[in-house]
């Protein structure tokens, strides 16, 4: 139950106006505090403290109120009855939404033939958790890995292969797509070296850059050799993306469909733009002007076709909206990318408005911050390269292994991997996603503090208590000890938390909730013996019940974060 909402609604209904309910930091004087007397005093032109005296008996009548007292200028503190808590505390369950939304979620968005790097960590982890939150709230989500698989980077890769293997059939005039091409293949790591090399060369070699542009346009126009080559490296790259996603325990994407798929809808989108007179020729390219008279910040036009006739990243995003509308007809499309793409999405949403393609209030871009190293600059590996996701996972795994041996813990490889992934993910989720953060492999893998390992450790502990128990968990009426009470109250705060996490698109609320819950679980575990011999059966049953719903609540939050709980730690 959403205890907060229950209490707040009941007070408002009783008094006939809406007041604000707060959860005080210090629960000593009450579980909730309302400013109802202040609000009511304003409405009735009365003295708040006096009005508080009049309101108090009404509040005391409410079925969940144990005690209500006046504090300060007229706040009313409310303590909830133990039996009310005992009767209503349950583990959370996914919502059945009467009016579910269809939400297209665009995150991950990896680039073909480029390895996943640190810049993809947040879009993957936060995107996956947002997806899980939306599903928990009863919405239907359709996730898209909108791959960069059709633009200049493909031209780069093909141009590079052409340079190192000019004799390969893909580049000959008599290329025959039906020949046996099985010997033309690459290892994923080899494939990942092509783009960086090509891009470095393109910076200094104009002729090569020119080739890249020509190849990109020809690929898009259906050049058989380039397309055959693309069809060879595409699945290799896709497989390595999937391997990394799987390691991170991220839900598989509903659609691995990116720019290439969107580009199939070029004709109808172009038609739409022409009908509205939105395509303007400019130095051989075609652009859409999105600037408004009211703009104060620069708002450059969007390039639809470049001067070679190639389709741009911006253009394929318009086509993707067209495609998604046609296939999913979603209520909302939500994009999660680095905040440096904000301008791109602003431009895109303006085109959606100009063309009438999609209601812009249902297009949402969430921009996340950068992951930095100790020096405050984007995190690099020791060799000074932008870190690959696989490197990051390795760094975290090594740190967990070192820590386990420091603590004389014998953990198998699977458990170490599970802990390392949880450390990485939890650390990412607990930061406000819109800000930058500093990644420190040592602190994120600590078994104490606000870390993934601490959360897992707490869950493992509860599982082990429940495994050892011979009594059936059952709530018996009793006076709650403070640590039992605090824990149950927080369990009953899950619904409010997920609701705000959903509304604010704030995954850190879930991570912080999990951490808080763990602290209260551990306090309860230390002060309220559960299975000890001197504990009577009724208390044992009750505490086991509390343990069970605490465990189930914690498991729900770890599931939302895509963390796996090891058997032992
Ligand atoms: N592949 C792009 C990148 O790595 C991100 C794509 C985001 N999604 C989108 N629909 N534009 O920068």
- Best substitution site from 145, 148, 241 to test ligand 1's pocket, by max atoms within 8 Å of Cβ? 148
Cβ(393)–Cβ(122) under 8 Å?
no
pLDDT single digits (tens) 38-88? 999 998 899 999 999 999 999 999 999 999 999 988 999 999 999 999 999
DSSP 71-93: ETTTEEEEEE-HHHHHHH-----
Residue 74 lies in a domain: yes
Query: Cα–Cα–Cα angle for 401, 403, 405, nearest 5°?
Result: 70
pTM value > 0.85: yes
**pLDDT for the residue 115:** 87
- Whether residue 224 is contained in a domain is answered as yes
Ligand 1 centre distance from Cα of residue 337 (Å)? 7
Q: Write the CATH number for 526.
A: 1.10.730.10
Cα-to-chain-centroid distance, residue 430 = 11
Q: Where a domain ends, among 80, 113, 137?
A: 80
pLDDT at 26: 81
Catalogue the long-range contacts made by 168-173 (C-beta closer than 8 Å, 24 or more residues apart). Answer: 169/225, 170/225, 170/226, 170/228, 170/229, 171/225, 172/225
Rounded to whole angstroms, how far apart are CA atoms 322 and 333?
A: 12
In a domain, residue 260? The reply is no
Q: What's the structural domain count of the chain? A: 3
pLDDT in tens, 82-118: 999 999 999 999 999 999 999 999 999 999 999 898 9
| Residue 377: predicted pLDDT | 87
Please report the pLDDT score of residue 478 as a whole number: 83
Residues of the chain scoring pLDDT < 50: none
Both 63 and 192 in one domain: the answer is no
Which pLDDT score, from 0 to 100, does residue 27 have?
79
Among the candidates 192, 215, 247, a domain finishes at: 247
Can you give the pLDDT at residue 233? 95
Q: Is 379 in the pocket of ligand 1 (CB under 6 A)?
A: no
Range of the domain at 469: 389-560
143 CA distance to ligand 1 centroid (A)?
A: 13
Q: Is 35 in the pocket of ligand 1 (CB under 6 A)?
A: no
Q: Give yes or no for residue 146 CB within 6 A of ligand 1.
A: yes
Q: Are residues 421 and 550 in the same domain?
A: yes
């Amino acid at each position: 139950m959403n205890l907060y909402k229950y209490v707040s609604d009941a007070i408002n209904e009783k008094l006939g106006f809406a007041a604000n309910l707060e959860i005080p930091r210090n629960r000593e004087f009450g579980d909730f505090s309302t400013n109802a007397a202040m609000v009511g005093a304003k409405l009735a032109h009365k003295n708040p403290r006096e009005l508080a005296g009049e309101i108090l008996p009404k509040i005391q009548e409410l079925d969940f109120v144990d005690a209500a007292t006046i504090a300060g200028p007229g706040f009313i503190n409310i303590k909830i009855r133990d039996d009310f808590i005992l009767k209503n505390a349950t583990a959370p369950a996914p919502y059945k939404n009467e009016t579910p939304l269809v939400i297209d979620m665009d995150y991950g968005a990896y680039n073909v033939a480029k390895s996943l790097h640190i810049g993809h960590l947040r879009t993957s982890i936060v995107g996956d958790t947002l997806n899980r939150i939306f599903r928990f709230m009863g919405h239907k989500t359709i996730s898209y890995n909108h791959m960069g698989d059709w633009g200049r980077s493909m031209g780069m890769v093909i141009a590079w292969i052409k340079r190192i293997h000019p004799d390969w059939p893909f580049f000959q005039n008599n290329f025959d797509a039906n020949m046996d091409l099985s010997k033309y293949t690459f290892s994923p790591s080899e494939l990942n070296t092509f783009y960086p090399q090509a891009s470095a060369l393109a910076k200094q070699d104009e002729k090569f850059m020119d080739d890249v542009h020509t190849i990109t346009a020809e690929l898009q126009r259906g050049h058989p050799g380039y397309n055959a080559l693309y069809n060879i490296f595409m699945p290799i790259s896709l497989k390595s993306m999937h391997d990394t996603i799987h390691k991170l325990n991220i839900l598989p994407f509903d659609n691995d469909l990116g720019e290439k798929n969107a580009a199939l809808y070029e004709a109808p989108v172009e038609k739409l733009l022409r009908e509205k007179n939105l395509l303007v020729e400019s130095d051989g390219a075609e652009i859409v002007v999105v600037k408004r008279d009211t703009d104060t910040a620069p708002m450059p036009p969007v390039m639809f076709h470049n001067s070679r006739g190639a389709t741009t990243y911006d253009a394929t995003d318009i086509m993707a909206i067209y495609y998604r509308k046609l296939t999913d007809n979603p209520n909302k499309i939500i994009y999660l990318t680095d905040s440096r793409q904000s301008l791109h999405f602003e431009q895109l949403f303006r085109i959606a408005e100009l063309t009438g393609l999609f209601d812009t209030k249902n297009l949402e871009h969430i921009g996340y911050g950068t992951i930095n190293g100790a020096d405050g600059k984007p995190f690099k590996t020791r060799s000074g390269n932008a870190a690959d996701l696989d490197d990051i996972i390795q760094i975290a795994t090594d740190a967990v292994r070192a820590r386990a041996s420091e603590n004389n813990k014998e953990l198998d490889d699977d458990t170490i991997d599970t802990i390392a992934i949880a450390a990485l993910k939890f650390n990412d989720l607990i930061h406000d996603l819109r800000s930058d953060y500093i990644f420190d492999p040592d602190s994120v893998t600590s078994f104490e503090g606000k870390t993934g390992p601490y959360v897992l450790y707490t869950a493992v502990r509860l599982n082990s208590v429940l495994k050892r128990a011979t009594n059936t968990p059952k709530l018996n009426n009793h006076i709650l000890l403070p640590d039992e009470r605090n824990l149950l109250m927080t369990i009953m705060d899950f619904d409010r938390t997920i609701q705000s996490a959903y509304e604010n698109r704030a995954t850190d609320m879930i991570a912080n909730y999990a951490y808080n819950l763990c602290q209260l679980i551990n306090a309860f575990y230390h002060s309220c013996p559960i299975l000890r011999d001197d504990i009577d059966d009724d208390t044992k049953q009750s505490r086991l019940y509390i343990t069970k719903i605490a465990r189930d609540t914690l498991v729900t939050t770890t599931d939302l974060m895509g963390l796996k709980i090891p058997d032992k730690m």
